[in-house]
Amino acid sequence: MHSRVHSLIHSQVHSRVQSRLPSLSVPKRTESEILIPVVPDEVLLNSNLIQHLALNAKDAALLYGVLMRTKEDPNSSETINYAPFTLFPSPVPTSLFNQAFEVQQDFNLLVDKISMDSEFLKNSLASTAEADEFTARLFNIYTQVLDEGIAQSITLGVNRSDYMFDKRPKLTATLKQVEINTIAASFAGLAARVPEVHRHVMNVWGKPDEAAKILSNKAVKGICKGIARAWHLYGSPDAVVLFLVEKISRNIFDQRCLEMELWKKNVQVIRRQMYEIYQRGTLDDNKKLFVDGIEVAVAYFRTGYSPDDYTCDECWIARLMIERSMAIKCPNIATHLVGTKKIQQELVREGVLEKFLPDDPAAVERIRETFVGLYSIDEGPDGDEIIAKALADPESYVLKPQREGGGNNIFGEELRQVLGGIKDKALRSAFILMDRIKPQVVKNYLLQSGAAVKLSECVVELGVFGVYIRNCNRLSMNLSAGHLLRTKRTEFADGGVAAGVAVLDTPYLI
């Protein structure tokens, strides 16, 4: 078997140049243009200016807290560096940005509705669970909790729906969904701090009017509003919010942004790894969850989305303990399963959206407008047909396994090799195929620690955070909570910030 398949399943300068700088002007979009550069080419090629701005940008990132721990010492804050980010904000069409925010509340409602439909989840994930051990273990926890009876009627969701701006088949860009993340949706904390860095860069460049147009990002406040509300609904002032975190925590400062905001609201936070829940967690007779003797009101997962997060069977026991408890889970196991690629593919089928949103055809249309083609490759004639198409034209498709976290998707010639290796095996049910989005290319400088500052051709990906709370059968909160813009060089087909491929960015609306 192809090895990839196997692993997937398991100041002076400033004064000199200032007088020569062209004015930043963003012309009106035309039908033949998709993304208009924020920064003119003559500025992008001005090496003295770029070096000056990059130095200022890096210092600003450190001052404003756009931080990560180092690869060399990932569990210590004695040595830190700036998180990777773009030198300039990237252009984003205003209409598409607004569209992403408007549809997020629809997606929140849809995710919640699906999470309550056990038959749909069971039928949709049956073939995937047979082919993919990780999905099977999650699904086993789900069915056990269902059989016992769900202890907690309050649900907290923190999602992030990710999009690219597709230039096919029209001349103007359209908003197309890459995926929706229902567990451990990250980088709200750092993304909320990047706008200040870009405002500083624009001011140093001598563009204060443009600096003032850069949007603030309220993602941290929006997410923490939801977590704090859930904590309050739990009804025990001495209980805490538990952050479930990974063993290696390079991205701890992104999480700390949320923690500090919760502490400001007088909500206590503790951090524990999954194995520590097994070691020191208990359920009392009322299924209240205690860790080190502390009652847990909300269990907020920043880990648990990858097989690598479950290093031993005891981690799975801990996950089951949490799911069986009275703690409000973010997400609960059902919502976690809604985020699988297989469910994303099922939603494209005719009539499925109408099934979950029967009284809101406008929401159905808003959601459907963001979809690209997603295809099951389960065994059978339909799966065989789409596999044949992908093998004949691999550049038009993306092969997606049931994995989160970036860096798992398969493209191009590798897609042909992997798909050819699994097309006659039941293992193929662990994947779906998706039409490949063709985004517009923009130019920018990506600032990454230890890397040379060089001009790159890039693509951007916009994420919108959504927060909702359901108390019994009624949504008491449904918010579009903030955004995340990430940018990567065109030579990288896949991978996120944590994977070292993408960098943080800020939208400059055009």
What are the b/e assignments for 468-497, b being 16+ CB within 10 Å?
bbbeeeebebbbbbbbbbbbbbeeebbbbb
Q: Are residues 259 and 243 in contact, defined by beta-carbon separation less than 8 angstroms?
A: yes
Q: pLDDT truncated to tens, each residue of the chain (510 aa)?
A: 444 444 443 433 333 333 333 344 444 444 334 455 688 888 888 999 999 999 999 999 999 999 999 999 999 999 999 999 999 999 999 999 999 999 999 999 999 999 999 999 999 999 999 999 999 999 999 999 999 999 999 999 999 999 999 987 666 889 999 999 999 999 999 999 999 999 999 999 999 999 999 999 999 999 999 999 999 999 999 999 999 999 999 999 999 999 999 999 999 999 999 999 999 999 999 999 999 999 999 999 999 999 999 999 999 999 999 999 999 999 999 999 999 999 999 999 999 999 999 999 999 999 999 999 999 999 899 999 999 999 999 999 999 987 776 668 898 999 999 999 988 888 898 899 999 999 988 999 999 998 999 999 999 999 999 999 999 889 999 999 999 999 999 877 655 676 667 999 999 999
Residue 424 CA to residue 428 CA, distance in Å, equals 8
**Cβ-based neighbours of 128, under 8 Å, separated by 6 or more:** 135, 340, 342, 402, 429, 430
Q: How far apart are CA 103 and CA 480, in angstroms?
A: 9
Strand partners, 469: 156, 477
| pLDDT reported for residue 31 | 37
Residue 475: closest CA among 220, 239, 100, 153: 153
What would the two tokens of residue 322 be? 């949490």
Tokens of 28: 């009106």
What is the distance between the terminal CA atoms of the chain, rounded to a whole angstrom?
Answer: 47
Range of the domain at 385: 3-509
Active site residues: 160, 179, 181, 186, 341, 400, 404-405, 486
Dihedral angle computed from the Cα positions of residues 11, 17, 19 and 25, in that order, rounded to the nearest 10 degrees: -110
Q: Are strands 294-301 and 328-330 parallel, antiparallel or unpaired?
A: parallel
As for how many domains the chain has, the answer is 1
The SS3 call for residue 145 is helix
CA distance 188 to 77: 20
pLDDT at 495: 56
Amino acid at position 182, single letter = T
- 493 contacts: CB under 8 Å, gap ≥ 6: 409, 411, 412
pLDDT given for residue 17 in this prediction: 35
Q: Give the pLDDT of residue 22.
A: 38
pTM of the entire structure? 0.90
Look at the block and give the residue holding tokens 């756009």: 66
